[in-house]
Amino acid sequence: MRCTCHIVPADVLRRLAQDASLSQDTQRAFIDTAKVDVEQRRIRVQAVKLTMVAQATAQTVTALAPAPALSLYDCNHTQNLPGTPIANPPASADQTARNVSATTSDVADFYATVFKRNSIDDGGMTLLSSIHYGIKYANAFWNGLQMAYGDGDGLIFTDFSQSNDVIAHELTHGVTQYTLQLNYTNEAGGLNEHLSDCFGSMFRQWKANQTVAQADWLIGKDIVGPQAQAKGLTCLRDMANPAGAHCIGPQITHFSQYKAGMDPHYSSGVPNLAFHTICMAVGGQSWDKVGQVWYRVMTTSGAKPAMRMKTFANRTRSAASQLYPGDTALSQAVDAGWKQVGL
Ligand SMILES: [Zn+2]
């Protein structure tokens, strides 16, 4: 099965759907989530095609607003998108509404402050999100048009809006759709997932004002439910240790382990580890230099739907010396970090 723009990979959902240690009710939640994800994937493919056509015909991107407007909808546990509009999300009695509203605004602020980017399309596009998607829906997604968050089954995953890196991960899928336009298959899919984890983690670190040494580098730490925690699971993924047994979705760590057709949530472990290694070698804060190098490659390469990992790695090598000429420590760190994962 092809990967999607969801945060939880399909085979983790299938594994949990068959996990006899879970109640039938919980297993049912994962079966339902997996079914819904197939449908959302079809919608995303169509939305990406529309973006490509729109970008090809547009002469310039005209900023619609200096900062993006946010609109939030409540699915009320249905699968109807976007759902019912929530009038004033920051003042809502619903904690999920307040959460998503505040964090989405923070992610927009992160992109504007750190990368001078005005929303997903750099043209002030309204950020549309829906909460309480489905019944015990155990995932979050970008469907090409909007973000949506499930409440989780409550035992393996809690409310997906609780982890701020999850929100930044989904929003970054939108940024990728408007920049590199990476596919969700093969190496490009792995890069697509990587960029979402990478900017998701950077956002989390920026929000907490952490150095690379202080950061935990975990993805989805705050959505791990009590039953998963009881099994020693502490995150969905770990950029510092992608193959760790504490990850709900452990990943590969070297390009030699990559196989064509692999779920991008697994192959993204290779660039995830390279990014972490490079950041640790450079020190300081991830978004200061290494993040700028990544963003430059993401936004100056044009549409590269079938980009190879080696191409991305080489472009970061070039971008590092272009952005920071004479910074040999940075250039060497970028080169060594990629070599360590076989790229
Ligand atoms: Zn994703």
Centre of ligand 1 from the C-alpha of residue 53, in Å: 23
Domain boundaries, the chain: 10-340
Q: How confident is the model at residue 2 (pLDDT cuts 50, 70, 90)?
A: very low
Centre of ligand 1 from the C-alpha of residue 231, in Å: 24
Centre of ligand 1 from the C-alpha of residue 325, in Å: 33
Centre of ligand 1 from the C-alpha of residue 13, in Å: 14
Tell me the per-residue pLDDT of 232-242, one tens digit each, with 9 for 90 and over. Answer: 999 999 999 99
The single residue of 6, 169, 173, 265 carrying the catalytic annotation is 265
Tell me the per-residue pLDDT of 198-227, one tens digit each, with 9 for 90 and over. Answer: 999 999 999 999 999 999 999 999 999 999
Centre of ligand 1 from the C-alpha of residue 83, in Å: 22
User: What DSSP state is assigned to residue 247?
Assistant: B
Domain 10-340 in CATH 3.10.170.10: yes
Q: Which of 175, 127, 165 is nearest to 298 (CA)?
A: 175
In DSSP terms, which residues pair with 9 in a beta bridge? none
Q: Can you give the pLDDT at residue 54?
A: 63
Centre of ligand 1 from the C-alpha of residue 203, in Å: 15
Tell me the per-residue pLDDT of 73-125, one tens digit each, with 9 for 90 and over. Answer: 999 999 999 999 999 999 999 999 999 999 999 999 999 999 999 999 999 99
Alpha-carbon distance of 169 to 176, in angstroms, equals: 11
When pLDDT is averaged across residues 25-34 and rounded to a whole number, the result is 86
Radius of gyration of the chain (CA): 19
Mode of pairing for the β-strands spanning 147-149 and 127-131:
parallel
Q: How confident is the model at residue 1 (pLDDT cuts 50, 70, 90)?
A: very low
The single residue of 6, 170, 193, 194 carrying the catalytic annotation is 170
Tell me the per-residue pLDDT of 48-59, one tens digit each, with 9 for 90 and over. Answer: 666 665 665 554
Q: How confident is the model at residue 64 (pLDDT cuts 50, 70, 90)?
A: low
When pLDDT is averaged across residues 278-300 and rounded to a whole number, the result is 98
When pLDDT is averaged across residues 156-173 and rounded to a whole number, the result is 96
Alpha-carbon distance of 167 to 187, in angstroms, equals: 23
Alpha-carbon distance of 250 to 52, in angstroms, equals: 33
The DSSP H or E segment spanning 146 is none
Alpha-carbon distance of 111 to 108, in angstroms, equals: 5
Centre of ligand 1 from the C-alpha of residue 326, in Å: 35
| C-alpha to C-alpha distances, 78 to 34, 35, 133, nearest whole angstrom | 15, 14, 6
Centre of ligand 1 from the C-alpha of residue 327, in Å: 32
Secondary structure class of 142 (helix, strand, coil): strand
- Which structure tokens are listed for 186? 């093969």
* Residue 265 known to be catalytic: yes
Secondary structure class of 183 (helix, strand, coil): coil
Percent share of the chain, pLDDT over 90: 81
Residue 335: CB atoms within 10 A of its CB come to: 16
Q: Are 158 and 26 in contact (CB under 8 A)?
A: no
Centre of ligand 1 from the C-alpha of residue 296, in Å: 20
Extract the runs of DSSP E, i.e. beta strands, from 143-219.
147-149, 218-219
